[in-house]
Amino acid sequence: MEKLIYKTLKFPKLVMITVLIITIMFFMVMKNKSEMETNLDKYMPDKHPAFVYSNEAENWFNIKDGIIIAIENPGGIYQTETLQKVKDLTKRLQKMKEIEKADVTSLYTADNIVGTEDGMDVKAFFKRVPKTEEELAALQAKVSANEMIFGKLVSIDEKVTVIVARIGDDVFSQEFYLRLLDLAKEFEGKENVYIAGRPIVEGTMAVLGPADMKKMVPIVFLVIIIVLFALLRNIKSTFLILAVVSFSSIWAFGLMAVVGIPIYAVSTMIPVMLIAIGVAYGIHLYSHLHMFQLENPEIDRMTAVKDMIKEMWNPVLMAAITTAVGFVSLLTSQVYPIKYFGVFSAFGVLVAFVLTILVIPAGILLFGLPKVKVKTENKSKSNTTQTVAFRVSDFLMSHKWQTYFVTFTFIALSIFGMTKVWIDSSFLEKFEKDSDIVLTDSFINNNFGGTSTLNVILESSTPDAFKQPGALEQLIVMQDDVETSLDIVGDSFSLSDYLKRMNKVMHADNEVFNTIPNSSELIAQYLLLYEMSGDPENLWQVVTDDFKKVNLTFQLKSDNSKALNSAIDIVEKYRSDFDKLRIELNYAGSGYKALVFTDLILKGQVSSLLMSLIIVVILLGFIFKNYKLGFIGAIPIVITTFISFGIMGLFNIPLSSTTALISSIAIGIGIDYAVHFIDRYRIYAEGTGDKKLTMQHTMYHSGRAILFNAVVVIAGFMVLMASVFPPNRTLGGLISLNMLTSFIGTLTVMAIALYYSNIYFKKEK
């Protein structure tokens, strides 16, 4: 490997030109083919049993996510101008090629089931917009008397009405999203128009994601330039390191575009990640070069480069491999964004290593060595730094028990915090609390049942099972229990609502009969009358045509896991009751899939964490030819993992698709410190034969480089604090803290364990 690098560097211009050409090629592919994935269903494994069943149920009942447009008139919606806007907006939505006409529901299209002298009829609330006071009052009376509409399409205070346009998973696009926003603005005036729903969340993420990346990358570069120049004091060195990290990011995104992998929201953090990691590799090379130049001030370029490669290629390679392993371990996750994040981050890390070991030496050969002023004051500073490093080393080695005590105290506190960690599937939590999307969602939740849904599917093998009063009454009991027990559940809808309404209107709107009919024959008669009078397509959204399956939809005022789990916990109490009726209970819809999504995040987190720890221990043991060093090297990242999850629990930070990356990132990057420290300790042990002197010089040489590394990585990740997505900011803060913990753990607990292990020395008496 070393000889191959030397041969390649005989042609430094060719190296630079080749790298530049490949980078341009990747950039062009990235520019032309990269796409942002906003369909949240695409985040999930479509072959998972829960998703397979949910997709089947969605086909049975035509379950789709809805775009919710709320029209608010502070003076009340029963005004001619407002109702005209409801009608016009409904028709405009029906004419959009992305929306099926029958999938738009509003006060203008809704069915009003009424009793007649001849039986039952299904009529529209209005065809022509009411203009007189009498007509408006009549419409108001009809709506308020219909419990299937009042509180669901019209708010209780009668100041807001909603239009729901259901769309398929494959029709939503950024262009469609922007047209919807423009359409909503077009109808504003005396009325306020709000637009929400899961598709709108997806569209907002699609707009903000790329904008967020464009915003963060320049900030990263600015921060890195400042930090690098402060540490290296050399413009050419700063430029070469920046070139390496920029190229590695372009190669990673270029490869994503080549193989057709879209950019997910979490993928926007890859450049920040690679910049922070790649800069650290360059720092280690230049740190060693600086010390070599101080000892050999008249050295020529080639000799300096050869020494730098000889001493540093191996530890940097080991650091890159262990970092890549940390990211590759994310492949155990079944969540696509996390899986792909791991793969392409690992690729970018390895590219960063290759470019670091080729571009930086080639640049030095072409542009010259960084200038090092060997003056008395510089030597004095160097001696001062060395003295401080030696004193820190001596202090730590003589205070091991105090260090262990402090460490175990933090771990114990962290274990307590870990018990409080919870998982969150909410996509709205990715936005600011005061953002338009969150405020709009909150407004609609306050006035209606909720913008999130949970579909409960009840399935029997017996035809007409749900024409039987017993099954329907049990459905009502469960439905009412969930609604009344949980404030988070705003409303629900099922076949029972249809039958209760039919029974009531067939008995002159007598509230006593707002119940399930008491015979299967009467139920069958009502359903037949409805099919003859109304639009049966509406009915098939709650029951299949053989009446063997029903769809019960709960509307929730939050899309987080706690809300969904609380509703499911109550539903599960009725599983045995339905079993007795030979009815199977299952779940479907986007809300349930999001919940399964969170479980997959947890399982992926645990498996990737365990896998990366095991592989890292084995790798370190193999690299250093001693299995004990594998366990010693893992000490800092184990401590970091405990503290990281402990802080999440103590500060109520949920585990999400974003924060699930923390442990693998911490292991992948944090292990670099252990690799460099152990490798330098080995070199000094072989050279000095003195254990104390070995630790002192290792603390000075690697401790200094690791400090620079930590400063750069922490500065890079702190840039995430500027993200528009709160979880990204949380991730930036947590990883920065993890890097600090890994840095401290390496130079304290691990250094002490390495020192007293006597691995490179004969066991002392």
* 199, 255 contact by CB (below 8 A): no
- 177 versus 754: which is more confidently predicted? 754
Dihedral (CA of 421, 422, 425, 428) sign? negative
Q: How far apart are CA 376 and CA 15, in angstroms?
A: 38
pLDDT, residue 191, reads 93
Is position 178 within any domain? Answer: yes
DSSP-derived 3-state class of residue 392? helix
Query: Do 571 and 648 share a domain, yes or no?
Result: no
The band of 483, judged by pLDDT with boundaries at 50, 70 and 90, is very high
The answer to whether residue 27 scores a pLDDT higher than 90 is: yes
Check whether 40 has a pLDDT greater than 80. no
Domain for residue 614, yes or no?
A: no
Tell me the CATH number at 331. 1.20.1640.10
43-47, 324-328, 438-442, range with the lowest pLDDT: 43-47
- Using DSSP's 3-state secondary structure scheme, residue 1 falls into coil
Are the C-beta atoms of 57 and 455 separated by less than 8 Å? yes
Residue identified by tokens 């775009």 is 67
- Farthest CA pair distance, the chain: 109
Tokens of 752: 């002490």
Is it the case that residue 682 has pLDDT exceeding 50? yes
Task: With a cut of 50, say whether residue 134 has pLDDT above it.
Answer: yes
Is the CB of residue 721 less than 8 Å from the CB of residue 729? yes
Residue 219 lies in a domain: no
User: Across residues 577-596, what is the average pLDDT?
Assistant: 90
- Residues 592/455, Cβ–Cβ less than 8 Å: yes
User: Of 202, 219, 246, which closes a domain?
Assistant: 202
Considering the domain architecture, whether residues 585 and 629 belong to the same structural domain is answered as no
Q: What is the pLDDT of residues 687-740, one digit of tens each?
A: 888 889 999 989 988 888 788 878 877 887 788 787 777 877 887 888 888 889
Q: In this structure, are 277 and 364 located in the same domain?
A: yes
- Domain limits for position 712: 383-419+624-765
Distance CA 431, CA 582 (A): 44
Strands 160-167 and 104-105: antiparallel
How many CB atoms neighbour CB 182 within 10 A? 9
| Burial per residue of 502-535, b for 16 or more beta-carbon CB atoms within 10 angstroms, e otherwise | bbbbbeeeeeeeebbbeebebbebbbebbeebbe
Indicate if 548 and 576 belong to the same structural domain.
yes
Express each pLDDT in 656-672 by its tens digit: 766 767 776 777 767 88
1 and 88 belong to one structural domain: no
Sorted by sequence, the CB contacts under 8 Å of residue 380 that are 6+ apart come out as: none
What b/e string do you get for 363-376 counting C-beta neighbours within 10 Å, with b at 16 or more? bbbeeebbebeeee
Supply the pLDDT for residue 117. 77
Residue 634's Cβ-side half-sphere holds a number of Cα atoms within 13 Å equal to 22
Q: Which tops the pLDDT comparison, 318 or 749?
A: 749
3-state SS record for 192-209: EEEEECHHHHHHHHHHHH
| 294 and 318 assigned to the same domain | yes
Q: What is the pLDDT of residue 467?
A: 94
Does residue 292 sit in the same domain as residue 370? yes
- The answer as to whether 218 is a domain residue is no
Judge whether 608 lies within some domain. no
Sole residue written with tokens 């730098």: 308
Q: Which residue has the tokens 């139920």?
A: 523
Number of domains present in the structure of the chain: 4
Question: What would the pLDDT profile of 606-628 be if each residue is shown by its tens digit?
Answer: 777 788 788 888 888 888 888 88
Q: Tell me the average pLDDT of the chain.
A: 86
Confidence band (pLDDT; 50, 70, 90) for 587? very high
Three-state DSSP state, 399: coil
Residue 428 located in a structural domain: no
At CA 584, angle to CA 580 and CA 586, rounded to 5? 140
Q: Is 20 helix (H, G, I), strand (E, B) or coil?
A: helix
Measured between alpha carbons, how far is residue 44 from residues 57, 268, 338, 723 in Å? 17, 18, 10, 24
pLDDT digits (tens, 9 = 90+) for 83-101: 999 999 999 999 998 898 9
User: Is the pLDDT at 379 greater than 60, yes or no?
Assistant: no
**Per-residue model confidence as pLDDT tens digits over 249-261:** 999 999 999 998 9
Q: Which domain CATH number covers 564?
A: 3.30.70
In a domain, 435, yes or no: no
pLDDT at 500: 93
For the cut 50, the answer to whether the pLDDT of residue 376 exceeds it is no
Full DSSP string of 488-532 = TEEEEE-HHHHHHHHHHHTTTT-GGG-S--SSHHHHHHHHHHHHH
Q: What pLDDT is stored for residue 755 in this prediction? A: 92
Radius of gyration of the chain (CA): 32
d(CA 522, CA 524): 5
Is residue 750 helix, strand or coil?
helix
**Does the model's pTM come out above 0.85?**
no
Are 263 and 328 in the same domain? yes
Question: Do residues 62 and 150 both lie within one domain?
Answer: yes
Q: What is the pLDDT of residues 220-237, one digit of tens each?
A: 778 878 888 887 888 889
CA distance 131 to 134: 8
DSSP characters over 90-128: HHHHHTSTTS-GGGEESTTT-EEEEEETTEEEEEES-SS
395: Cβ contacts below 8 Å, ≥ 6 apart: none
**Burial level of 677, CB count in 10 A (0-12/13-18/19+)?**
buried
Q: Are residues 507 and 576 in the same domain?
A: yes
Query: How high is the pLDDT of residue 377?
Result: 47
% of the chain surpassing 70 pLDDT: 94
Output the pLDDT for position 576. Answer: 94
Q: Are residues 641 and 758 in the same domain?
A: yes
CA proximity to 220, closest of 272, 277, 148, 142: 272
- Residue 493 region, left (φ>0) first, then alpha (ψ -120 to 50), else beta? beta
Residue 358 domain-assigned? yes
Question: What integer pLDDT is reported at residue 24 of this predicted model?
Answer: 95
Each residue's pLDDT tens digit, 531-584: 887 667 788 999 999 999 999 999 998 888 888 889 999 999 999 999 999 999
Residues 530 and 549 grouped into a single domain: yes
